Amino acid sequence: MIMMASTTLSNDQILKAMHTSMTRSLGEVSLAGMDFFADPHVALDNPTEYVRMLQGVLGSGAELMLRDVIDAVYREAGMEPVPGSNLKDCMTTVRTR
């Protein structure tokens, strides 16, 4: 179920929330290396492909990373994280159109 966002987010706000969440988990240096293989800008237009890229880089750890990212993006929009939502649902819910 998709809920209306309290605040819609710009692409820059989404990327910042993603970056902050992933930096907490990986650190700045490791994140810079991962961004080379899984460009977070892809998540804005093709969240499914970004998930595939993360899975290629992080393997089974991608699910935990994605859960943190999704929760951070929802929180940035002033929403409670939506249990069971995927990155595509999250992007649809919080984006400015």
Q: How far apart are CA 90 and CA 92, in angstroms?
A: 5
Distance, C-alpha 32 to centroid of its chain: 15
Q: How confident is the model at residue 97 (pLDDT cuts 50, 70, 90)?
A: very low
Instruction: Give the residue-averaged pLDDT of 62-80.
Output: 94
Distance CA 61, CA 64 (A): 6
For residue range 9-68, what is the model confidence (pLDDT) as tens digits?
Answer: 999 999 999 999 999 988 898 888 888 889 999 999 999 999 999 999 999 989 999 999
pTM of the model: 0.86
Nearest 5°: phi and psi at 77? -85, 0
DSSP class of residue 83 equals T
pLDDT for residue 5: 44
